[in-house]
C-alpha cells in the first residue's frame, strides 16, 4: 500500500512538471505570435494543399501520439513515419506553431477523403497538432528534427520577423533553458516511477494466476472476434 501511494505521488509530480512544460511553450509562442506570421504560415499551407492533396476514397481520421517522454528521454516512433510515408516534410518549428500549418491540411485531407493520422503535442495544455501522416499519399509532416533524409524542409521560424525575435531574445533563451531542465526532470521522475512500478509488480506477481488471466483474455478475444 505504501509503495502504491508513493507511485501515485510520482505520477502527480510528473503531471505537474509536464503541465509546466506546456505553459512555458505557450509563453514562448505568445512572445512571437502575430497576425502577419500566421498569415504567412497559412498561405504556405494553402500552397502545400494545392500541390499535395489529391482525391482519395472514404478516408477517416485516426488520433495518435508519435512522441512521448520516457525514463531514457523523449522517444519518437520514426519507424511509424518511415513505414507509412516516402516523402517527409520537416517543419523547423522553434515556437510550436506547426498546428497553424497542419490544421488546414488535416481538414483538406479529410475533405478529399484521405486517411489521416493526426499526431498531437503531448505537452500542450490544449489540443495542438504536431505531426500529420497521410498514408494514402505516402506523405508525412513532422515538427521534430527528422533523423533521415527529408523530402522538403519548411522554416516556420522564418515567418517570425527578426526584430520580434531580437526583442524577446533573452526571455526566449530563458524559457528554452527552463523547458529543457523541466523535461530532464520529467525523465528522472519517469525513471523513478518505473523502478517503483517494478517493485510493486514483484509484490503482486507471485499472487496472480496468469494462466487464468490468459484464459479469460482468450475467452473475451474469441467472443469479440466471433461477434
Q: Residue ranges of the domains in the chain?
A: 35-160
CA dist 63 and 218 (Å) reads: 28
pLDDT value at residue 115: 95
Pair 55, 108: CB distance under 8 Å: no
Whole-number pLDDT of residue 181? 96
Kindly give the confidence (pLDDT) of every residue in the chain, 227 residues in length, as a single tens digit, with 9 standing for 90 and above.
Answer: 999 999 999 999 999 999 999 999 999 999 988 888 899 999 999 999 999 999 998 889 999 999 998 988 889 999 999 999 999 999 999 988 999 999 999 999 999 999 999 999 998 878 899 999 999 999 999 999 999 999 999 999 999 989 999 999 999 999 999 999 999 999 999 999 999 999 999 999 999 999 999 999 999 999 888 76
Reading phi first (left if > 0) and then psi (alpha if -120 to 50, else beta), residue 55 is in beta
Query: Which pLDDT score is estimated for 124?
Result: 82
Convert the pLDDT of each residue in 116-161 to its tens digit: 999 999 988 788 999 999 999 999 999 999 999 999 999 999 999 8
Specify the pLDDT at position 104: 96
Q: What is the pLDDT of residue 49?
A: 97
Contact 56, 115 (CB under 8 A): yes
At a CB cut-off of 8 Å and minimum separation 6, what does 91 contact? 98, 101, 141, 142, 143, 153, 154, 156
Q: How confident is the model at residue 227, as a pLDDT?
A: 67
pLDDT at 58: 84
Q: Are 152 and 142 in contact (CB under 8 A)?
A: no
pLDDT for the residue numbered 135 = 96
- Per-residue model confidence (pLDDT) at position 123: 87
CA distances from 120 to 9, 125, 181, 217 (A): 26, 11, 22, 31
Amino acid at each position: 500500500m505504501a509503495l502504491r501511494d508513493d507511485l501515485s505521488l510520482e505520477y502527480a509530480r510528473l503531471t505537474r512538471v509536464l503541465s509546466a512544460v506546456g505553459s512555458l511553450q505557450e509563453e514562448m509562442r505568445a512572445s512571437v505570435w502575430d497576425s502577419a506570421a500566421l498569415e504567412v504560415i497559412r498561405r504556405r499551407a494553402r500552397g502545400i494543399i494545392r500541390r499535395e492533396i489529391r482525391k482519395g476514397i472514404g478516408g477517416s481520421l485516426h488520433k495518435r501520439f508519435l512522441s512521448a517522454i520516457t525514463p531514457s528521454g523523449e522517444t519518437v516512433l520514426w519507424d511509424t513515419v518511415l513505414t507509412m510515408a516516402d516523402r517527409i516534410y520537416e517543419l523547423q518549428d522553434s515556437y510550436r506553431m506547426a498546428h497553424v500549418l497542419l490544421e488546414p491540411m488535416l481538414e483538406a485531407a479529410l475533405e478529399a477523403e484521405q486517411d489521416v493520422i493526426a499526431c498531437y503535442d503531448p505537452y500542450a495544455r490544449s489540443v495542438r497538432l504536431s505531426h500529420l501522416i497521410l498514408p494514402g499519399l505516402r506523405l508525412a509532416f513532422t515538427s521534430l528534427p527528422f533523423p533521415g533524409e527529408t523530402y522538403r524542409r519548411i522554416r516556420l521560424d522564418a515567418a517570425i520577423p527578426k526584430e520580434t525575435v531580437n526583442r524577446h531574445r533573452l526571455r526566449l533563451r530563458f524559457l528554452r533553458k527552463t523547458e529543457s531542465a523541466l523535461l530532464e526532470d520529467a525523465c528522472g521522475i519517469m525513471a523513478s516511477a518505473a523502478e517503483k512500478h517494478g517493485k510493486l509488480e514483484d509484490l503482486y506477481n507471485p499472487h496472480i494466476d496468469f494462466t487464468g488471466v490468459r484464459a479469460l483474455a482468450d475467452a473475451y478475444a474469441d467472443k469479440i472476434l466471433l461477434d
